[in-house]
Amino acid sequence: MAGDEEAYVYDEATGEWLPPGQAAAAAPGPAEVRDSAGNVLADGDSVTLIKDLKVKGANQTLKQGTVIRSIRLTDDPEEIDCRHDTIKGLVLRTEFVRKR
């Protein structure tokens, strides 16, 4: 009888118990990350800043037009992780960048 039983999975979005096959199909995929112009961003893309940004904790301002290379996507579709020559661990909001 143990083979007849299926482990159901609780879907928090719908509030229902689903069989494992349906739960896997209903799971949302990764959200598309878009820049300020609506272009889809991917890991490794280069972006350009569309306005001057004051960087908290670094006492520095990144100027409009600065190119940021090799971005990394995060779990939040509104933020990207990137590196700059003088700032390590920089996280930018996608509303302030445009894909090159």
Q: Which helix (H) or strand (E) holds 77?
A: none
Q: Is the pLDDT of residue 100 over 80?
A: yes
> What is the model's pLDDT at position 1?
43
Confidence (pTM): 0.68
> What is the model's pLDDT at position 96?
96
Q: Which CATH number is 33-99 given?
A: 2.30.30.40
Please report, for the chain, the start and end positions of each structural domain, with discontinuous segments joined by +. Answer: 1-30, 33-99
Instruction: Report CA 60 to chain centroid distance, whole Å.
Output: 25
Phi-psi region of 6 (alpha: psi -120 to 50; beta: other; left: phi over 0): beta
> What is the model's pLDDT at position 68?
94
- Tens of pLDDT, residue by residue over 83-98, are 888 888 899 999 999 9
Q: Given the structure tokens 């972006």, which residue do they identify?
A: 47
> What is the model's pLDDT at position 74?
92
